[in-house]
Amino acid sequence: MYKRLSIVMFPILLVALIGTGIWGYMEHQEKNSVLIKAENQYQRAFHDLTFHVDKLHTELGNTLAVNSTSQEAYKKGLINVWRITNEAQNEISQLPLTLLPFNETEQFLANISKFAYRAAVRDLSKQPFTEAEMKTMKSLYEHSKQISDDLRQVQSTVVEQNLRWMDVELALATKSEPYDNDIIDGFATLDKKVSEYAEVNWSPSVMSMFEKRDVSMLSGNEMTVDDIKQRAAQFLGVQSLDTAQIVENGVGTEYASYSVYIPKEGTLDGAHMDFAKKGGQLLWYNATRDVQTRALDLRQARDVAAQFLDEHGYTGMTAVSYDDYANVANLTFASREGDAINYLEKVAVKVALDNGEVTGLEATDYVFNNKERQLPAPTVTVEDAKKTLNPEFKLDSVSQALIRNEIDEEVLCYQFMGRVNGGYYRIFINAATGTEEKIDYIQADEVQVAQ
């Protein structure tokens, strides 16, 4: 009986054993294939990074070799520097360096990119390179040579010792220092050298792009918990807020603020508010709830939001954009600066379309950009500015507007609103130079808000 059973089972077990072996082999091959693919991608990104940093050094040298009065050649060189630096940043993001301190080098490359872009897009005939900017270019040329040499040294080590990036990823994942890995050591040494570079004068226009908003920028006295409770009650139109829970955030830092939570019936999670500790200005308010029906139209929602803003001290605001989701309208308003719409000072209001209740307010842009401004008089006439528009553009309205352009400058523009190519657009033409600064596509529903 056992003999007969063994005769039957042996072939079955043998087939199962062979099948298991084949499955294990295929799994192993598939795993190896994934690892090889990942390693190849890491190697490609690393060698491309080395090439582009070397190319960056060359392009900076080529740009410096050209007379700065040769505007087109200089602009071309700066655009190439910007493009190459962006490629290098992209390649860094593809390497397993998230756990390795490499932020100094990444920030340095980011600053080069911003510096080159800002210089390239400006009119060099009216704003030629200054002596300080030429000095900065020479510093970048010297520093990029050092970075390129260090990367080449790491590259030589990788090639000579046949090092693998998968080992780098494994070493970083274990977090067991010292890592004892030549690639990690090479990148850590490079980043340390970059951190020790003499301070580069990036110019205020470049550094403004890296400025972070913090409450130290605001005016006013520092608020106490009682002050904030009183402001929250005033905003909500109630006498007191005995149930409010207030927490101070970022104690002792430049980001100090107060978060307020108030249980509120009918909402999904009560009402939430944030106030700046310095000055006590409201940053945002949210009291989200389910809105099942839609009783108000767009214009009614806009009027509700405008009245709400007037009642809460945001006077003279103009609706500039709109969208809605789940029966809640999201409207953006901008303030006015004389005859100009000030897009720097914006607030966003959420209105429930069932009964017109305001369920949210975002006022951060308004708080941090609100200040007294003296706008310059336009030097370009409306008629001259119109000449920049597409001949087929069907103009509906024109007004003045203050915007922040792509290089983070505040510029006074003419805002032309109209239709072309089947779409509705808002086109901003610089009122001082007559050049096009920005184009916004406007959804069909938004046209009603902006008129």
Give pLDDT tens digits for 170-192: 766 666 555 567 777 788 888 88
Q: Give yes or no for a cis peptide into 178 (omega within 30° of 0).
A: yes
Encode 99-131: b = buried (16+ Cβ within 10 Å), e = exposed: ebebebbbebbbbbbbbbbbbbebebeeeebee
Top pLDDT among 39 and 361 is at 361
Structural domain includes residue 7? no
Q: Is 168 found in the same domain as 28?
A: yes
Structural domain includes residue 411? yes
Tell me, what's the pLDDT at 63? 86
Window from 85-99, 220-234, 301-315, 348-362 with minimum mean pLDDT? 85-99
Sorting pLDDT into bands at 50, 70 and 90, what band is 23? low
User: Which residue type does 251 have?
Assistant: V
- The Cβ of residue 30 has, within 10 Å, a number of other Cβ atoms equal to 10
Q: Is 251 found in the same domain as 394?
A: no
Q: Name the token pair of 220.
A: 């006013």
| Cα 407 from Cα 413, distance rounded (Å) | 15
Q: Is 159 found in the same domain as 25?
A: yes
Window from 113-127, 166-180, 181-195, 349-363 with minimum mean pLDDT? 166-180
| Cα 193 from Cα 268, distance rounded (Å) | 52
Sorting pLDDT into bands at 50, 70 and 90, what band is 306? very high
Return the HEC string of the chain: CHHHHHHHHHHHHHHHHHHHHHHHHHHHHHHHHHHHHHHHHHHHHHHHHHHHHHHHHHHHHHHHHCCCCCHHHHHHHHHHHHHHHHHHHHHHHCCCCCCCCCHHHHHHHHHHHHHHHHHHHCCCCCCCCCHHHHHHHHHHHHHHHHHHHHHHHHHHHHHHHCCCHHHHHHHHHHCCCCCCCHHHHHHHHHHHHHHCCCCCCCCHHHHHHHCCCCHHHCCCCECCHHHHHHHHHHHHCCCCCCCCEEEEECCCCCCCEEEEEECCCCCCCCEEEEEECECCCEEEEECCCCCCCCCCCHHHHHHHHHHHHHHCCCCCCEEEEEEEECCEEEEEEEEEECCEEEEEEEEEEEEECCCCCEEEEECHHHHHHCCCCCCCCCCCCHHHHHCCCCCCCEEEEEEEEEEECCCCCEEEEEEEEEEECCEEEEEEEECCCCCEEEEEEECHHHHHHHC
Tell me, what's the pLDDT at 211? 53
Q: Is 120 found in the same domain as 99?
A: yes
- The Cβ of residue 445 has, within 10 Å, a number of other Cβ atoms equal to 13
Question: Do the beta carbons of residue 248 and residue 299 sit within 8 Å?
Answer: no
Q: Name the token pair of 65.
A: 């070799």
What pTM was computed for the model?
0.67
Q: Is 234 found in the same domain as 205?
A: no
Tell me, what's the pLDDT at 384? 94
Window from 62-71, 92-101, 175-184, 185-194 with minimum mean pLDDT? 175-184
User: Which residue type does 385 have?
Assistant: A
Top pLDDT among 16 and 424 is at 424
Tell me, what's the pLDDT at 14? 58
Tell me, what's the pLDDT at 8? 55
Tell me, what's the pLDDT at 179? 59
Tell me, what's the pLDDT at 181? 72
Structural domain includes residue 2? no
Average pLDDT value over all residues in the chain: 82
Q: Is 345 found in the same domain as 432?
A: no
Q: Is 133 found in the same domain as 25?
A: yes
User: Which residue type does 143 have?
Assistant: H
Q: Is 251 found in the same domain as 205?
A: no
Tell me, what's the pLDDT at 12? 62
Window from 80-89, 158-167, 177-186, 360-369 with minimum mean pLDDT? 177-186
Tell me, what's the pLDDT at 31? 56
Top pLDDT among 430 and 190 is at 430
Domain boundary among 323, 344, 369: 369
Structural domain includes residue 250? yes
Q: Is 327 found in the same domain as 405?
A: no
The whole domain housing 36 covers 18-210
Q: Is 197 found in the same domain as 111?
A: yes
Q: How many domains does the chain have?
A: 3
Structural domain includes residue 247? yes
Pairing of strands 245-249, 271-276: unpaired
Sorting pLDDT into bands at 50, 70 and 90, what band is 363? very high
Q: Is 53 found in the same domain as 23?
A: yes
User: Which residue type does 112 have?
Assistant: I
Query: Mean of the pLDDT values across residues 30-42?
Result: 67
Structural domain includes residue 5? no
Domain boundary among 335, 369, 403: 369
Q: Distances from the Cα of 14 to the Cαs of 2, 4, 21, 22, in angstroms? A: 17, 16, 10, 12
